[in-house]
Amino acid sequence: MKRILLVILVLILALTCFACKKDGPKDCNYNEYIMDINLQDDNLLCKQNFIFVNTLKEDLEELKFHLYPNAFREDVANKAYKSNLSQYGGLEITASKLNGKDINYTLSQDKDIMSVKIPKAKLNEKLELYLEYTVKLPACNLRLGKHNDMINCGNFYPSLAYYDNDKWREDGYTTVGDPFMSATANYKVTINAPADMVIACTGDIVNTAIENDRKIVSVNAEGVRDFAMVMSKKFQVMTKMVNNTTVYYYYFNDSDPASSLSVAANALKVFSDCFGKYPYKSYRVAETSFAYGGMEYPMLVYINSNASDKADVIIHETAHQWWSVLVGNDSINEGYIDEGLATFSASYYYLLCGDENRFNQDMKKRSDSFKNFINSKKAAQPDYCPKMNKALKDYDQNEYSAICYDMSCAMFKNMYDMMGKKKFEKGLRLFFEDNKYKIATGSDLHVAFTKAAGKDMGKLFNSWTLGTVQTFAA
């Protein structure tokens, strides 16, 4: 009897450990952000408990956090904006405690990195960092900002830097690309806003209450690598179910919102069928005032209200739920991975829906665009080499778009043509399954597609990433 009980206990422990590793969102070692956010005019008054689990190294002595809102200050080197603002933003910390005791911290010169010294933390030891801070919303239509009755709240809170090669990454803000990289975590968030404010956010809204003309929204998000919000009193909302996921569309300037919702829902289903199951219960698409086409966050995307082809933007940003959100990557140094995959996927969507002509048109458009770019570059700089594995700071906007979108998309089309549909899709699924909730690298991409192809794809990958491929020779 004792032996049977022992076997049962071992099985239970094994299954528990397997669940923590396999399920992703239920991972028992994720860090946790518990946030209380109070919107007051142009400010977010915030309280944040950050529960850190040391899975990084024995005797860890320091934590570092990105304070991205400080890239919206006026007097910074690494600005988040390209032209002067009528109102600048920023983040000011007003209280800080570690395990209940007051602590000091240091800020970088731009005040965008906060460093906190901690007692030597053993592996798997938990620490709790409490912060109170105020975020001043800048007047702009960027990831963070207030513009035309829309409030975008992306990258607004102190977020743990990524730990890589035995050190914290301190990459500064850039106006080119997406200068963010973060590990998966869990979030419990309470949002306090005016009663008539409609809130689109990362996560599942578990409760909404009205108290004294204020709306109190409680949100849970498990297994996500960021938290963001879009708020407006102008929002109307439509919903549609896809498998076990509710798709929400928040709109204010869409002449055909039912069509946009349908596109979002269908893209979620098509990609889930092709790449791997979308694991969350909610997906929110928010039409907003935004300077670019769109922006992806976990379970939430921004869509430019004035986008010329709103459907294309919705499909592209939905693809990012797999490539960037679920499968993370170093978008600062390998931005071609998520942007190339999302760009190819947005076109591949049409092929999966039976519209081969649209897929071919999109591929030709991307190819022609890159040819024009490379010919122009080589005319001015004959030895120019279009390397894909460059840091964001080394790109200008035109080069970034040409390489990380057009050229990377062409790489995946090249692989599709060489491997065939069945093996290529197997490669996508392997890349997703092997790397979801993690940070993937170009090497992981190589491994997945080599497995799917049944032969080494290294020569092909290297010819593209190193810029030696001859596909676009003038």
Mean pLDDT of 218-234: 98
* Phi, psi angles (nearest 5°) of residue 52: -100, 130
What percentage of residues in the chain have a pLDDT greater than 90? 92
Checking if the pLDDT of 472 tops 60, the result is no
Mean pLDDT of 428-446: 97
Per-residue pLDDT tens for 288-302? 999 999 999 999 999
| Separation of CA 228 from chain center | 10
In the numeric block, the tokens 């409030």 are attached to: 151
Mean pLDDT of 424-430: 98
Checking if the pLDDT of 120 tops 80, the result is yes
pLDDT computed for residue 6 by the predictor: 42
pLDDT computed for residue 195 by the predictor: 98
Residue-range domains of the chain with CATH: 28-183 (2.60.40), 337-465 (1.10.390.10)
Q: What is the mean pLDDT of the chain?
A: 94
Contacts of 438-446 with CB under 8 Å at 24 or more apart are: 438/184, 438/327, 438/328, 439/162, 439/181, 439/183, 439/328, 439/329, 439/330, 440/327, 440/328, 440/329, 440/337, 441/329, 441/330, 441/334, 441/337, 442/334, 442/337, 442/389, 445/337
Per-position b or e across 62-84, b if 16+ CB within 10 A of its CB:
ebbbbbbbbbbbeebebbbbeee
Mean pLDDT of 261-281: 98
pLDDT computed for residue 415 by the predictor: 97
Structure tokens at 353: 């829906």
Checking if the pLDDT of 147 tops 80, the result is yes
Mean pLDDT of 205-220: 98
* 56 CB neighbour count, 10 Å cutoff: 15
**Confidence class for position 173, pLDDT limits 50, 70, 90:** very high
Mean pLDDT of 464-470: 89
pLDDT computed for residue 33 by the predictor: 98
Mean pLDDT of 432-436: 98
User: How many Cα atoms occupy the beta-carbon half-sphere of 186 within 13 Å?
Assistant: 15
- Calpha distance 78→467 (Å, rounded): 28
20-24, 152-156, 365-369, 447-451: least confidently modelled range: 20-24
Checking if the pLDDT of 277 tops 60, the result is yes
Checking if the pLDDT of 140 tops 50, the result is yes
Between 5 and 261, residue with greater pLDDT: 261
- Calpha distance 427→461 (Å, rounded): 13
**Confidence class for position 423, pLDDT limits 50, 70, 90:** very high
Which runs of consecutive H residues, i.e. helices, occur in 194-334? Answer: 257-275, 310-319
**Is 295:154 a contact under the CB 8 Å cutoff?**
yes
Mean pLDDT of 188-205: 98
5-14, 33-42, 280-289, 338-347: least confidently modelled range: 5-14
Mean pLDDT of 266-292: 98
Compute and round to an integer the Cα radius of gyration of the chain.
23
Checking if the pLDDT of 352 tops 60, the result is yes
Mean pLDDT of 141-161: 98
Mean pLDDT of 459-464: 94
| Separation of CA 338 from chain center | 9
Per-residue pLDDT tens for 17-51? 434 544 455 555 899 999 999 999 999 999 999 99
pLDDT computed for residue 29 by the predictor: 84
Q: Is 124 exposed, middle or buried (0-12, 13-18, 19+ CB in 10 A)?
A: exposed
pLDDT computed for residue 372 by the predictor: 96
Checking if the pLDDT of 452 tops 80, the result is yes
- Calpha distance 67→77 (Å, rounded): 14
pLDDT computed for residue 11 by the predictor: 42
What percentage of residues in the chain have a pLDDT greater than 70? 93
pLDDT computed for residue 17 by the predictor: 43
Checking if the pLDDT of 473 tops 70, the result is no
- Calpha distance 349→319 (Å, rounded): 9
pLDDT computed for residue 103 by the predictor: 96
pLDDT computed for residue 8 by the predictor: 38
Work out whether strand 282-288 and strand 300-304 pair parallel, antiparallel, or are unpaired: parallel
Mean pLDDT of 391-407: 96
DSSP string, 363-416: HHHHHHHHHHHHHHHHHH-TT----SS--GGG--HHHHIIIIIIIHHHHHHHHH
